[in-house]
Amino acid sequence: MSPRAVDSAAGDSAPEGRRIVFWRHGRTEWNARGLFQGQEDIALDDLGRQQAAQAAYELKHLSPSLIVSSDLERARDTAAALCVATGMPVSTDARFRETYAGRWQGLAFAEIGRRFPQDQQAWHAGDPRVAAGGGESRLDVGERMKAGALEAVAAIEPGHTVVVVSHGGAIRAGVAALMGIPPELWGSLAGVANCHWSVLEELNPSLSTVVPRWQLTEHNVGLASMPSTPLEG
């Protein structure tokens, strides 16, 4: 099967363009309880492992040439399902971790709103400069996600695909940064649910001299059987 045997949404990307698939990890117990995980190393729950296996069966048809995962357990175990489905090895990169959320980590979203009302309101309004719990801002996360993704893309051939297994908030920030969306508009991009994915395809690769240009051809795509879950944290 060719690397582009499964087409994404119709767009202006060229067949020789490379593709980045950002895939969020499966559900964890903390997701189910509505807790902000951040960089706490939480394992998948039983449903999360099932989600990963089901989604991997679909994503294998994209014939990834490279699979890179956040080094947090929930992402690594999700990536392992795609390794089983494709036979491709998985490498890890800490730049694909979720937002470091400082004092917010381990708290319910409602509790964050009670204890940190101003910062929480700005965060949920999409202000990319707010440091979550005194930790990272979305701008911080977007910068490291972009750097990691561009390094991964540079390692694959034209027309090939890299799957980056990451986290809801990190994926949104990474997509926005790669596309060059103005920071004040980052909040207009929806988050990504558990085990859903987003796809960026390279535009006019023959004209790209230094930094690739990207088109968002799919966003927050997943199987209909997957329940709704918090979009970040």
List, by residue number, the catalytic residues. Answer: 25, 98
**Residue closest to 128 by CA, chosen among 113, 145, 114:** 145
What CA–CA distance (Å, rounded) separates 49 from 194? 11
Distance in angstroms between the alpha carbons of the first and the last residue of the chain: 36
Angle, vertex CA 72, rays to CA 68 and CA 130, nearest 5: 100
Starting at the edge strand found earlier in the chain, the sheet holding 213-221 runs 90-92, 66-69, 161-166, 19-24, 197-203, 213-221
What CA–CA distance (Å, rounded) separates 106 from 126? 21
**Residue closest to 229 by CA, chosen among 142, 177, 169, 175:** 169
Angle, vertex CA 98, rays to CA 72 and CA 223, nearest 5: 85
Distances (CA, A) of 218 to 21, 192, 198, 221: 9, 11, 5, 7
Residue 198: half-sphere exposure toward Cβ, Cα within 13 Å: 28
Angle between helices 73-86 and 46-59 (to 10 degrees): 40
